Amino acid sequence: MARVPILLVLLAQLFLGRARVRSSSPLPLVLNTWPFKNATEAAWRTLVSGGSPLDAVERGCAQCERQQCDGTVGFGGSPDELGETTLDAMLMDGTTMNVGAVGDLRRIKNAIGVARKVLEHTTHTLLAGESATMFAESMGFINEDLSTDTSQALHLNWLTQNCQPNYWRNVIPDPSKYCGPYKPPSILKQDGSTYKETGNKYGHDTIGMVVVHKMGHTAAGTSTNGIKFKIHGRIGDSPIPGAGAYADDTAGAAVATGDGDVLMRFLPSYQAVEYMRGGEDPAIACKKVISRIQKHFPSFFGAVICANVTGSYGAACNKLPTFTQFSFMVYNSLKNQPTEEKVDCI
């Protein structure tokens, strides 16, 4: 059967759907990665009180930042190899296509709030590192230590375990056995490998959120403190438009979570939205994105959630021995509370 372009679906709803009762519409919609219920509720409250999709995404992600969702969002989690917690975040407005993002943000707790200021008060898309911190301070954010007793203990334990896992390769000393500092050998030993799993536990990760307004306007965003023990200065997929998140009112929105170093190479959120633009159901769009990445990295850790502008949604994930299902949150006008849903990985 030929795919139906998303704009035709919208027109059909406008002209044929007026007789339906209001409660039958699945819009507005809040969708986010992982069972971060409080973030879902915060976004929903913002929407129903008259806030914009962008407001809802910001407040939902900010809720996770304050609560340090699973230790992978906000301050006090995922120390890098120097023991510092740094943050990545992004907001995208699907109506204007404006984006604000920060990467490797240091000593500022409200990363998603700084991303909003980048969007609203600059013509740039992404600010990073110490310069992003300086910008945040100029916008009124407080410079404060993001480390906690928990993050410091994590880092100390990592050092006592010979800095395992880490994200170095083709260096000396052998990064699989020793801590750094590392340097490239005079003649690199090429073993043909392009990717190595560095951990055996997969858990919660970035909060990624999609919001679709009752009028079909979209927004998407992310916030994370990245992977534990990353190389100092590393930025993942979360603040990269089209990788961590993407929104476009003419099609829909999507967000990704998982191994950002792999995910960003495939722009999964952008690709999912483009599949939906071509008429694919959101669940199929998400699956097709995962399948594309599997061809190159069959053991990657990742998941994608997608929603089109009519309120249909879906999710998909890459199946691993310790990651066979992916949980995400849904709240729409057909539900009276945020609901955790699960999808089997492929």
29-33/86-93 β-pairing? unpaired
207-212/126-128 β-pairing? unpaired
Write out the two tokens for 295. Answer: 């061809």
Contact 211, 43 (CB under 8 A): yes
Distance CA 211, CA 260 (A): 22
Distance CA 146, CA 243 (A): 25
Beta-bridge partner residues of 313 = 307
Contact 88, 235 (CB under 8 A): yes
Contact 225, 239 (CB under 8 A): no
DSSP per residue, 272-289: HHHHHHTT--HHHHHHHH
- Reference 334, options 18, 17, 93, 25; nearest CA is 25
Q: Is 206 a catalytic residue?
A: yes
Q: Of the listed 40, 95, 206, 222, which one is catalytic? A: 206
Distance CA 52, CA 91 (A): 13
Write out the two tokens for 248. Answer: 């476009």
The string over 231-250, giving b where at least 16 C-beta atoms fall within 10 Å of a residue's C-beta and e elsewhere, is: eeebbbbbbbbbbbbbbbbb
Catalytic positions, please? 206
